[in-house]
Structure 1
Amino acid sequence: MIVLQNTVLSDDLKDKFFVCNLDKCKGACCVEGDLGAPLEKEELSVLSEVYEHVKPYMSAEGVKAIEEQGLYVEEFDGDFSTTTIGNRECAYAIYDENLTLKCAIEAAYLDGKISWKKPISCHLYPIRITKYDGFEALNYDRWEICNPACSFGAELGVPVYKFLREPLIRRYGEEWFNELDAMVASEALAK
């Protein structure tokens, strides 16, 4: 376990390997499961602000799901998640020419239409954050659909936290990430 500022990180984030391999998984994390992507409360207003710019990138089924259910749904426990199509596929998921799922929000971002890349839970995956009083726990979420990413990460020698450098900096800042990197490096030297 790594304790850093107001976070507690599972050792898996430095000990396990991961690099998304969309050629193999085809973006299955956007369709598997029974809920949409977790949303932070502050992301709800952002989603409302960007939707009109994201909508042209969405599938007809995704737009229909949004029209019927709203931009997001409130779960039974009071948390929020992205709307789904038939309780499966994220309403914001789109297929590319290779039938790989991508994100309509990210497509709008990459085209310069919006400044929000996508929900932080999507950007940080396979890290899942659990909030507690005064700190956040970061854990590696193992899912068999990501086995190709684990193999690819091991082949390339990229630990989970290094693969997720950009979203970790987005969430906690560059100073936090550099401190994490230094802690992991000094622990490795001590072994």
Structure 2
Amino acid sequence: MIVIDDIYISDEVVEEQFVCDLNKCKGGCCVDGDAGAPLTNDELKEVIAGFEKVKHLLTEEGRKVIERDGLYQYDQEFGWVTPTISTGMCAYGLVDEKGIVKCSFEQQYYAGELKWKKPISCHLYPIKISKSKNTEQQYVNYEPRDQMCNPGCLNGQKLKVPVYVFLKEAIIRKYGEDFYEVLTQIADQYYVSKDAKK
């Protein structure tokens, strides 16, 4: 366990290796889940502000679900989440010509239409963050799906890319550059050097 301030990071975040392989998983994390993508309170505003920019990219069912149920929903376990369609796919998802599910917000971000990329919960996956109910503590865990994420795990091992390195942009977005620098120093000192001595 790595502890930086009130943030508790599981060893797997620096010990395990992962590089998403979209051609094999087909963006399954946008489909396979217990609810839609978790949203922070600030992200609710981003969804509202960006909806008109992504509306034309959505599936017909996605638009109908949003019109019926709203831009986001409240889940008893996960809090605010994006709506989902009958297949389980996020209502803000789209399927490209290769059959890969992509985020409509992210597509418009890359197109220069939006400044917000996508929910941080999606950006960080397969890292998941949970919070303590009674304290400010946060728990950062590496939780890939067994079958869906297996290609990404194999790809990471092949390329020798640790989870925290693959998710550098997302981690910095969530916790800042200083946090990531400290995490990298800890990883280098306690894990990379340890492996070199074996």
Structure 1 length as normaliser, TM-score? 0.96
Calculate the aligned-residue CA RMSD, in Å.
1.3
Query: 2:176 maps to what in 1?
Result: 173
**Do 1:22 and 1:100's aligned partners in 2 also have CA atoms closer than 8 Å?**
yes
Deviations 1:137-191 (A, max 9, x none): 1001131210000000000001111100000000111111011101110113255
Query: 2:142 maps to what in 1?
Result: 140
| C-alpha distance 175-126 of structure 1, shift in aligned 2 (>3 A) | same
Hey, what's the Cα distance between the residues in 1 that align with 2:53 and 2:137? 34
Query: 1:128 maps to what in 2?
Result: 128
| Counterpart AA for 1:172 | Y
Equivalences for residues 1-191 of structure 1 within 5 A: 1-77=1-77, 79-86=79-86, 88-132=88-132, 133-144=135-146, 145-187=148-190, 188-189=192-193
Decide which moves more: 67-76 or 28-37.
28-37
| C-alpha distance 78-167 of structure 1, shift in aligned 2 (>3 A) | closer
Does the residue aligned with 1:38 lie in a helix, a strand or coil? coil
Deviations 1:50-74 (A, max 9, x none): 1111112212221111101111110
**Number of aligned pairs?**
191
| C-alpha distance 10-78 of structure 1, shift in aligned 2 (>3 A) | closer
Deviations 1:18-75 (A, max 9, x none): 1000011111111112311111122111111111111122122211111011111101
Hey, what's the Cα distance between the residues in 1 that align with 2:105 and 2:10? 29
**Do 1:57 and 1:107's aligned partners in 2 also have CA atoms closer than 8 Å?**
no
Deviating beyond 6 angstroms after TM superposition, the runs of 4 or more aligned structure 1 residues are none
Hey, what's the Cα distance between the residues in 1 that align with 2:68 and 2:29? 23
Hey, what's the Cα distance between the residues in 2 that align with 1:78 and 1:93? 19
**Do 1:7 and 1:138's aligned partners in 2 also have CA atoms closer than 8 Å?**
yes
| Counterpart AA for 1:167 | A
- The structure carrying a bigger strand percent of its residues is 1
Hey, what's the Cα distance between the residues in 2 that align with 1:137 and 1:4? 11
Structure 1 unmatched runs, 5+ = none
Hey, what's the Cα distance between the residues in 2 that align with 1:5 and 1:177? 12
Hey, what's the Cα distance between the residues in 2 that align with 1:32 and 1:8? 26
Decide which moves more: 13-22 or 132-141.
132-141
Structure 2 unmatched runs, 5+ = none
Provide the identity percentage.
44
